[in-house]
Structure 1
Amino acid sequence: MIYAAKRSPLAWGWVLLGFGSLWVVAGLLFVGCGRQEAKPPAAEVAQPEVPPPPPPPKPIAIAPLSPISVDPGQKVQVEVKIDRAGNSGPIDLAVSGAPAGVKVSVSQIPDGESVGTLEIAADQKLGDEELKATLKIQAKLGELAAEKDLELTVRKITLPSFAPVKDVVLFPGQPASVKVQVERSGFGGGIPLRLVGVPQAITAKVEDLPPGSQEITVQLEASADAPEGQHTIRLVGTVLGRDIEQQLNVKVDRTPIRLVSFRVLTLRPGDSQIVRIPVERRAYEGPIRVEVENPPEGVTIPAVEVPAGGKEAILDIQTDPQAKEGVTTLRIVSRVGGYTRWDPMILRISYGETGFLPREIMADPNLAPLLRRGSFGGRLTAESKEALMRAYGGTPEAHQAVMLGLRWFARHQAKDGRWSLKYYHEARPGCDCWSEFEKEVANEDVAGTAFALLAFLGEGVTHNRAPERPSELMDYRRVVQRGLEFLVRTQVSDTKSKEAGKLSGNMYAHALGTMALCEAYGLSQDERLKIPAQLAIRYLMDAQHSEGGWRYGPKQPGDLSVTSWVFFAIRSGQLAGLMISKDPLVRAQRFVDSCACGPAEMIRTRYCYDPRAEEKQPKLSMTAAGLLTRQYLGCRKDDPELVAGCQYLAQNLPPENATTLGQIYYYHYATQVLHHMEGPEFDLWNYRIREHLIRTQQKEGCKAGSWNPEGTDWGNRGGRLYATGLAIMTLQVYYRHLPLYRPIIRTATGGGTLGGEVKEGVD
């Protein structure tokens, strides 16, 4: 509740007076506002005349459009004419309805012009099928618009193609051009070209095909060292994003022609002979120039021309009366344009069956103590080795391969003098010669050391002497000394022991070690080696089985493989002058005969590994080992079975173009057998094995000088040392042993004639 305050009479008077004043003011204001002056009447204004509205604009129109066609990957321009109907201003064009792969570009038509342009582009991926579409062409000028259909066709394409090409034959070093015709099928543009699948040994070039051209030229050339083989090269062109191609079948033929010259030609000094060499033509019928390289001194052979289509080359060979006896490989060179090939022919200059040993052998008094049939005295001097190489078909390249092998052995000798058959790589930091293939190699240090020592000894290097050249042979004396010291330390030297003389519990390894000790003693004549060598021989004799053979351990029934190595060790002892009992050799001869398994009428022409097998299966390696053992046991050179067996070996030559070492166990034995027989069979064999070993030797890196054991017989058990040792000893055949069937007959001039006969039986 609000209560009003009490006021006095005077206060109420003042309030009433205030209200009265307000009313007076309001009245005055009202009276003043109501007084206004009267306005004069307004004058009348004339209204302007309004023009009539303009007529509406006439519609614009698009002139009729003719249907268009476009090829994939191409562009076309279309004129769009607009009937302005008197309308001015720029005209905008727009297109709708373009299918995927079709792109349309438009431009604005400026004011005052009536023709615009559309550019229609078809993607090159189109064209697998014909494509039809209706494009909506729209023109707009301000509020005015017009529309017209344009019928579009993207044509189905037919790609160009290459005509088939005949197979191409390439000769190494000779370029060839291949013409390829192009069926354009209406396509007139240029075609980018490339070649796919070109092998490394072939150079191939091609240029892009210009517009309108219908012929492609492909340039091909095989390198001079290109291997024979069949290759497929693809000629590929690109048209509208699509590849077209033609296959070129290319064959590298290293023998488009071949002169069948692989034979032995024997001439006496002063003789002449017309030699007809058949020409095999495989892919070439033109003329051939034939030249002869590497004739020995005193032999002349003029070059000849074989006419186009000719089937033989006729050589006129003249020898000077002073021509030296010896064996040389002639290179019969065929030249056809830029292509060159050579085929071998073996030329033997000889007075006949008697012949002679080189004077360098017979005139050296230092060699006299070692000169006996089959001896190793010929390896002691550089002169004697060079003379024997000339006499039996050695070459500088073969000797270089031997030296490269010795360097490899020297690099892999352990600090204590050994060569480990399995762990040889540990002797040289960073060696990468070992591979997983060798994981099953026998852990045999005696065998490994023996293989290496026999290679050095084969060059005439002992611990106390070496041929004067090459000079590096002198440096290897210390290498040989350390190896011999290892063998002597390893040997059981206690003469009271049942194992006196033992080098290894493995008879293979012991036989190899015995060979090394015997050869080292025989070459050096160091009496300190005589007792170790004699003890090693005695251990072998005691280990013989009662049936005459040897095997892996003492007294075991023998096999021909181990027996052969043991026998060669005993033979080395004989050549070194050690005492050898005949009884073990007589038993050994009976065992070797038990391994014979040739035809009934010629049973000793083939040999097997184990005579106790139910079916004796002849093997090449065992046949060679058996024949070599028979030779050392005194078989006559003209023995019909020996001759037939050697002919069998000569029919199984080393390969002509192999890239792996192969049957080195067989090659090692067979090379020695045929060397002792001499004659044409050895000359042909020697060429093949010599070139095979040179070709397959590794030439680069840490492996340089060695041979890869993969693919060799027994390579998985002997490894790289085994393969390299046998390869080097095989290359040393010319001087490792003097010919077995040439007794030494000294003459007043120091020379020696070759002849006489070897009696059957143990020598």
Structure 2
Amino acid sequence: MSLHIESTDEALEELKKQRTKTLAAAISVSVLGVALMGLLLYLVHIIAAIPEDPPMVAYATQEGDNPDIDTPEVTQTTQRPSSSSAAAQVKVIAAVASADVAVVNPDIDVEIPTEELSTGIDIGDGFGIGTGDGDGGGIPGIVSKRCDLNDRMKRITENGGTPQCEEAVVKSLRWLKKQQNKDGSWGGTPHNYKCSMTGLALLAYLAHCETPLSEEFGENVLKGISFLVDQGMKAPVLSLVPQRNEVSYDHAVATYALCEAYTFCKQMDIPSISNLERVVVKAVDRILDAQCPNGGWAYSYNNRINPNIDLSVTGWNVQALKAAEHGGVKPTKGEIRTALRKAAMYCRKNVMPDGKFSYKENGESPRSSLVGVGVLSLQMTGNGSDSAARKGLDWIKNNVKTLEWGKGSGTENVKSNLYMHYYCVQAAMNRGGDVWTSYNRAFRDAVLGGQKPDGSFSNNDTGYAECLSGKSKNIYRQCLATLMLETYYRFLPGTGEGTKNS
């Protein structure tokens, strides 16, 4: 028997409507699913296409002798970039640039020094170019920490500084701003070491992340760079006194500053300053060509074994080469890494059994003032764990217990010799641990106490090159003291290998 259900017209019409609704719902769900899948794939594609923020990082003529250098105008539409905001943009027109360029300063984390750094004292990856993972790109990590006030203050306080350290640096930079000559240089009579004095001033500004983009100091920095570039285009060395023995200081300090400026301009996409790279390569070539067979450098850049080779000259040339390596400079006269290895060989020959370093190799004229030079040079060449460096660091820890501004006399006075302390502060910071803790206590308050209300530092200290006097000596003292206070955020401590705050 069959059972038939007879459907009325109304029932059929309702069934038809229900089927239509069901079909429409199914189609809607399918369309929505396809849309969601498409959106997901699009987001994956967008995320993959967005580049990661690159991590951003161990320095005199007669007035009116040279005509003023025409300095390109810097135009800013906002304040300079801050690493606290990846979207912060600054437009700048510098030198020969023909278009506005947006500059982004990304976030970055940097390790801090701890007692764990008591072993392994090589300067870490943050001092060199790249991210530390072999990619070879990006701005060195420590540089980003110079460029944001909050990050800078964090580094200062974590490393044993105080807010007064930042205040003192800003006051000093404002004082230096007033001392700049019309041609963009710093320094003056009697011996015209304007290139090295300009280099030191630029290093002080760059250490605080003052670049041609900076709102307050950008014009000063650009004019200073332009002065050195102009000199580099006109002469074989960065010096207005190439006939003097001290040209090997003048050129090295100026090269150090230009290499650091080149790094900032290249890595922060600051439009090219005309001939900057050309002069940088030329200047680094001159240093490489002047290195002596024993690995050191001599007065007058005489590259033969001679009595004028000394550790003091060598230290400045090592700093210049390290800055060049840091910035990825490609010289034509040799390899930077090879030259630094040779320099380390020379420095080892200057260490004494008690930890002092000698002015000349094999123990000739040992000096307390050169301990920091020897240790920092070994650290910058990748040999900070050598026994020679360890001896020097032990001497620093055991002998520099107090630093009194302006007390004592003579180049062997360990309290007030700023040349010595400029190097020792960096060497101690690179080591970290108890060496840095004790040294920080020694230098910080003494340097702060030596600053006058106008931002300058008092002149009753010792340890200056005999060839400096007058305006150049004042600039020299100012810059060394400022660079010491900027050590808190200028370089990575120790090895930079993921240490944690203890």
Higher helix proportion (structure 1 or 2):
2
| Residues 519, 572 of structure 1: 8 Å contact kept | yes
Counterpart Cα distance in 1 of 2:421 and 2:138: 30
Describe the superposition over 1:718-746 as per-residue Cα deviations: whole angstroms up to 9, x where unpaired: 31111111110011001111224114xxx
Residue 458 (structure 1) aligned to one of 181, 196, 207: 207
Match of 2:486 among 724, 729, 732: 732
From the superposition, tell whether residues 694 and 500 of structure 1 become closer, same or farther in structure 2 (CA, over 3 Å).
closer
What secondary structure is seen at the aligned counterpart in 2 of 1:707?
A: coil
For 1:511, the equivalent position in structure 2 comes to: 252
* Residue of structure 2 in register with 1:530 after alignment: 277
Q: 1:476 & 1:654 partners in 2: Cα distance?
A: 36
Question: 1:537 Cα shift?
Answer: 0.8
How far, CA to CA, are the matches of 2:312 and 2:118 in structure 1?
Answer: 36
Q: Residue 369 of structure 1 is aligned with which of 138, 141, 146?
A: 138
Q: Which residue of 1 aligns with 2:194?
A: 445
Q: CA deviation at 1:640?
A: 4.4
Deviations 1:465-492 (A, max 9, x none): x4xxxxxxx2100011111111111113
Report the Cα distance in structure 1 between the residues aligned to 2:327 and 2:482, rounded to whole angstroms. 21
Residue 421 (structure 2) pairs with residue 667 (structure 1): yes
Checking the alignment, whether the CA contact within 8 Å between 2:229 and 2:279 is kept in structure 1 is: yes
Equivalent in the alignment of 1:387: 154
2:233 corresponds to 1:492: yes
The answer as to whether partners of 2:401 and 2:438 remain within 8 angstroms in 1 is: no
1:595-744 equivalences under 5 Å are 595-598=350-353, 605-611=355-361, 616-637=364-385, 639-653=386-400, 655=402, 657-659=404-406, 662-699=416-453, 704-714=454-464, 716-718=466-468, 719-743=473-497
Distance 1:386 1:721 in 2: 26
What is the CA RMSD across the aligned residues, in angstroms?
3.3
What one-letter code is carried by the residue in structure 1 that aligns with 2:359? Answer: Y
Matches within 5 A, 1:393-408: 393-408=160-175
Task: Tell me: higher relative CO, structure 1 or 2? Use CA pairs within 8 A at least 6 residues apart.
Answer: 2
Residue 572 of structure 1 and its aligned partner are, at CA, apart by 0.6
TM-score normalised per structure 2: 0.63
Matches within 5 A, 1:213-362: none
- 1:548 aligns with 295
Instruction: Work out the number of aligned pairs and report it.
Output: 351
Larger proportion of strand: 1
Give distance in 1, aligned partners of 2:192 and 2:402: 31
Counterpart selection for 1:565 from 316, 339, 346: 316
Name the CA distance, whole Å, in 1 between partners of 2:300 and 2:352: 25
Alignment of 1:26-45 (within 5 A): none
Cα separation, 1, equivalents of 2:339 and 2:230 = 27
Q: Structure 1 residue 539: deviation in Å? A: 1.2
How far residue 643 of structure 1 moved from its aligned partner, in angstroms, is 2.8
Deviations 1:73-105 (A, max 9, x none): xxxxxxxxxxxxxxxxxxxxxxxxxxxxxxxxx
The C-alpha deviation readout for 1:32-69, integer Å capped at 9, x for no partner, is xxxxxxxxxxxxxxxxxxxxxxxxxxxxxxxxxxxxxx
Matches of 1:351 and 1:669, distance apart in 2? 19
Are residues 349 and 607 of structure 1, via their aligned partners in 2, closer, same or farther at CA, if it must alter by over 3 Å?
Answer: closer
1:589 aligns with 2:356: no
What secondary structure, in the 3-state scheme, does the structure 2 residue paired with 1:608 have?
strand
State the 1:378 CA deviation: 2.8
In structure 2, give the amino acid aligned to 1:690.
Answer: R
Shift of residue 450, structure 1, vs aligned partner: 1.2
Opposite residue 629 of structure 1, the aligned amino acid is S
**1:516 shift after superposition:** 1.0
User: Which consecutive residues of structure 1, in runs of 5 or more, have no partner in the other structure?
Assistant: 1-324, 328-347, 423-440, 467-473, 600-604, 744-752, 756-763
Q: Flag the 1:389–1:350 CA change in 2: closer, same or farther, 3 A.
A: farther
Asked if structure 2 preserves the Cα contact closer than 8 Å seen for 1:663 and 1:713, the reply is yes
Work out the CA distance in 2 between the residues paired with 1:724 and 1:673: 20
For structure 2, the residue ranges without an aligned partner over 5 or more in a row are 1-110, 408-414
Which residue is equivalent to 1:14? none
| Alpha-carbon distance change, 420 to 387 in structure 1, aligned in 2, over 3 angstroms | same
1:577 to 319, 322, 328: 328
Q: Is the 8 A contact 2:125 2:495 kept in 1?
A: no
One-letter amino acid of the counterpart of residue 573, structure 1: A
For the 8 Å contact 1:560–1:592, the answer to whether it is kept is: yes
3-state secondary structure, aligned to 2:396: helix
Query: Is residue 492–residue 501 contact of structure 1 (8 Å, CA) maintained in 2?
Result: no
Deviation at 1:597, TM superposition (A): 2.5
Secondary structure at the aligned position of 1:609 is classed as strand
Question: What amino acid does structure 2 have at the position aligned with 1:563?
Answer: T
| SS of 1:370 mapped into structure 2 | coil
TM-score, with length taken from structure 1: 0.43
Counterparts of 1:455 and 1:674, CA distance in 2: 19
Quick one: structure 1 residues 583 and 690, their matched pair in 2 at CA, closer, same or farther if it must change by over 3 Å? Answer: same
Report the counterpart of residue 90 of structure 2 in structure 1.
none
Q: Which is higher, the Rg of structure 1 or of structure 2?
A: 1
Distance 2:165 2:118 in 1: 26
CA-CA distance at 1:446 after TM superposition = 0.8
Q: Shift in Å at residue 376 of structure 1?
A: 4.0
Identity %: 25
* Cα contact 2:375–2:384 (8 A) shared by 1: no
Matches for 1:112-191 after TM superposition, within 5 Å: none
Partners of 1:352 and 1:659 in 2: CA distance:
31
Instruction: Answer yes or no: is 1:754 the counterpart of 2:502.
Output: no
Alignment of 1:15-30 (within 5 A): none
Contact 1:654/1:692 (8 A) holds in 2: no
- State the distance in 1 between where 2:286 and 2:405 align: 41
1:111 equivalent in structure 2: none
Question: Residue deviations 1:650-689, cap 9 Å, x none?
Answer: 1222635545582101111111111011112201211220
Q: Give the Cα separation in 2 of the matches to 1:586 and 1:522.
A: 22
Cα distance in 1 for residues equivalent to 2:254 and 2:199: 5
**Structural mapping, 1:46-85, within 5 Å:** none
Q: Find the residue that maps to 1:617 and give its secondary structure.
A: strand
Tell me the distance in 1 between the aligned counterparts of 2:280 and 2:216. 24
